[in-house]
């Protein structure tokens, strides 16, 4: 069985003391590959360095909506300089976040649109961060998807750590997006989220930790790590009434297809 943690912040200092052990524990739980998105220029560069160090780590580069307050053409140009690296497989994480008041909404929107244009131009899928901004995210993507080159039409990106209402899941799937699920799928009160996940087609679903955040049950309250993505996969497999091995095969194939990793993973 092979699993991919499609969203893990291995570059964060939460893993500085035991990063090698974290990767080893993941491997012992059949989690063999890792996608590390960037959240600003510094973390994007750090993600690339980790991808250079570890064969099984891949990177995304981007400015997270909460880091967009100083957005500028120079930052966009810096991202465009980083993106062609052979281990960079996505523009992300990008999007809108209306929960935290860290960047004005118009600035977030400008950064989102500029990075969407960059992704389309470079023919790279995107990793979407959406927090309490679903309507604006979907409206923006409805304008963007028709502009995509043929290579991205059936793999525009993923809604990372999906947590929006059912109608947003439907809209995202209609636009061709994948949905990624994290630790909250295991939480006692997450019945609506489980209902949504149970109805996502098996060819459009992925598993993530978003470590060091969103730790699944029974480790909630502890630091999250990629080994725990197996707990997310096991819960989703139950919702789809299939064995974990079959579910893992689907999610790994989905990640390979979305991120253009065919022939890369060994």
Of 74, 14, 16, 18, the residue nearest 41 (C-alpha): 74
DSSP letter at 164? S
Region of 139 please: left (phi>0), alpha (psi -120 to 50) or beta: alpha
DSSP code at position 207: E
Pick from 193, 178, 192: nearest CA to 250: 178
Question: Measured between alpha carbons, how far is residue 136 from residues 96, 139, 207 in Å?
Answer: 8, 5, 25
- pLDDT at position 101 is 87
Give the residue among 184, 191, 239 at the shortest CA–CA distance from 216.
184
Q: Whose CA is closest to 186, among 143, 142, 220, 226? A: 220
Q: Is 250 exposed, middle or buried (0-12, 13-18, 19+ CB in 10 A)?
A: buried
pLDDT tens across the length of the chain (266 residues): 999 999 999 999 999 999 999 999 999 999 999 999 999 999 999 999 999 999 999 999 999 999 999 999 999 999 999 999 999 999 999 999 999 989 999 999 999 999 999 999 999 999 999 999 999 999 999 999 999 999 999 999 999 999 999 999 999 999 999 999 999 999 999 999 999 999 999 999 999 999 999 999 999 999 999 999 999 999 999 999 999 999 999 999 999 999 999 887 75
- Contact residues for 45 (Cβ-Cβ < 8 A; gap 6+): 38, 82
3-state SS class at 47: helix
Domains, in order of start, for the chain: 3-259 (3.20.20.140)
């Amino acid at each position: 069985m092979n699993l991919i943690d499609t969203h893990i912040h291995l570059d964060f200092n939460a893993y500085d003391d035991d990063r090698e052990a974290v990767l080893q524990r993941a491997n012992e739980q059949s989690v063999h590959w890792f996608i590390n998105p960037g959240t600003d220029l510094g973390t994007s560069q750090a993600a690339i360095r980790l991808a250079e160090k570890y064969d099984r780590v891949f990177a995304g580069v981007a400015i997270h909506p909460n880091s967009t307050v100083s957005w500028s053409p120079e930052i966009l140009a810096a991202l465009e300089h980083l993106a062609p690296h052979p281990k960079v497989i996505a523009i992300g994480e990008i999007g809108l976040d209306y929960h935290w008041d860290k960047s004005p909404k118009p600035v977030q929107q400008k950064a989102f649109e500029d990075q969407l244009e960059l992704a389309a131009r470079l023919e790279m899928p995107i990793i979407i961060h959406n927090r309490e901004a679903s309507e604006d995210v979907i409206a923006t993507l409805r304008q963007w998807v028709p502009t995509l080159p043929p290579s991205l039409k059936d793999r525009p990106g993923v809604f990372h750590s999906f947590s929006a209402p059912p109608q947003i899941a439907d809209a995202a799937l209609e636009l061709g997006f994948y949905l990624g699920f994290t630790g909250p799928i295991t939480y006692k009160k997450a019945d609506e989220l489980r209902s949504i996940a149970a109805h996502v087609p098996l060819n459009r679903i992925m598993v993530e930790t978003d470590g060091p955040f969103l730790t699944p049950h029974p480790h909630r309250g502890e630091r999250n790590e990629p080994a725990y993505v197996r707990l997310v996969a096991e819960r989703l497999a139950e919702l789809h009434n299939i064995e974990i091995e079959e579910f893992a095969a689907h999610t790994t194939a989905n990640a390979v297809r979305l991120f253009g990793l065919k022939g890369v993973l060994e």
